[in-house]
Amino acid sequence: MTRRLVIRDARAAPGSGPAGLAWDGERLWQADYRDGLIYAIDLQGGAVQRSLYCPGNLSGLTWDGHSLWQSLFDQEMIRRINPQTNDFDETIILEGRGWLSGVAWDGRRLWVVAQQKGLLLSIDLETNKFESPVAGPIAMGDIDFHDGCLWASMAGPMEFDRALGRFNWLSDSPDYAVVQLDPLDGRVINRYQTESLYSGLCWVGEDLWLAHSGSRSIFRAGLE
């Protein structure tokens, strides 16, 4: 079923390359791949409360209840970041997984998008073991876990050209959406039409917040 995503509010991102978004219950965190910073944003006034130094090509971001997890797009790793000290407390290497465009936390597992392969990878943090990957849409952006499901921004129809190292469109009519996915098998439960592929995505209550790198903006959206 195709439904609509409606933009309720738009604001300028604090940096020049907005990427992953995460909500810690009090503030919105937004990674910036150009600045190499993660900003803490007050949603009421929009002010930047603080920033964390995190070098690398930053992509997805999530909150596990205590720490931030940041995926590095083309460096095959994710980092756990202590928001109080800015220390990188843990690094998980995902060698051979390709571009990592999003990361989410479901209360037990970290989910990571392997963008080129259209795979959802999961890591049980209690055992540090990888579980069987789940097939999802190719060319996903950031993801979040909400109400028992994974949510992802995606673009299609596309294929990845390994020889040229890039995605190619399979149609003259690009199609963008936010999709609700079953974490058991990657099945699309609901599909919401959008205008762009979003580099950041997270739920804050009943609002869906989105980051768009091209316009250097952050959006508050609703689903209809």
Q: What is the model's pTM?
A: 0.94
Burial class (CB in 10 A: 0-12, 13-18, 19+), 101: buried
Residue type for position 5? L
From the list 130, 136, 131, 133, the residue with the least C-alpha distance to 151 is 136
Query: Which residues span the domain enclosing 170?
Result: 2-223
Cα distance between residue 185 and residue 172, in whole Å:
29
From the list 66, 71, 108, the residue with the least C-alpha distance to 83 is 66
Place of tokens 């974490």: 183
**Number of domains present in the structure of the chain:** 1
Q: What's the token pair of residue 121? A: 């990878």
Taking only the tens of pLDDT, the chain with its 224 residues reads: 557 889 999 999 999 999 999 999 999 999 999 999 999 999 988 899 999 999 999 999 999 999 999 999 999 999 999 999 999 999 999 988 999 999 999 999 999 999 999 999 999 988 888 999 999 998 999 999 999 999 999 999 889 998 998 999 899 888 999 999 999 999 999 999 998 899 999 999 999 999 999 999 999 999 88
Cα distance between residue 209 and residue 28, in whole Å:
9
Residue type for position 168? N
CA R_g for the chain: 16
Question: What CATH number should be reported for the domain holding residue 84?
Answer: 2.130.10.10
